[in-house]
Amino acid sequence: MTVIDALLEHNAAYAAGFDGEALPAPPALKLAVVTCMDARLDPARALGLAEGDAHVIRNAGGVVTDDVIRSLSISQHHLGTEEIMLLHHTRCGMQTFTDEEFAQALEQAQGVRPQWTARTFTDLEDDLRDSVRRIKESPFIPHTGNVRAFVYEVETGRVREVS
């Protein structure tokens, strides 16, 4: 059995107990969380989020890319979110290589260089501050009054705010 097959069995058990009540599409907390895809970080567990509470947007590093701006814009304009929480984490893999190293490795392996950058970073807090700035400067995100940045510590499970 593959891992995916095991997950499908888990889903069958989940669906069997599903109450059929559809949650509304707009998140109950009017919150969007932008975070890393790292498997050590489960934002629902770490933050106490339940189904239907928030939009969770994940990518490598939790960086604010054009696609994250797109998702946040849809989240706010069509689904009513008003707050944005940015959540990086310690020991992030995006701090272990550079954009240029990654682009060169892909070009060498695949024969073509990506048209996008990985958006690596060396300092978690600096990248979070840059992410806040990118969101606040975007003309597509109307609610920027409550954009806050945090670091999740994979060593302790604690979340600390970045000013």
* pTM recorded for the entire structure: 0.93
Domain annotation covers residue 131: yes
Domain annotation covers residue 14: no
What pLDDT is recorded for position 21? Answer: 75
What total number of domains does the chain contain?
Answer: 1
Domain annotation covers residue 127: yes
Domain annotation covers residue 11: no
What pLDDT is recorded for position 18? Answer: 85
Q: List pLDDT tens digits, range 100-123.
A: 999 999 999 999 999 999 999 999
Q: Which residues of the chain have pLDDT under 70?
A: 20
Strands of the sheet containing 159-162, edge to edge, are 54-59, 31-36, 83-89, 147-152, 159-162
**CATH number for the domain that contains residue 84:** 3.40.1050.10
Q: Which domain holds residue 74?
A: 23-162
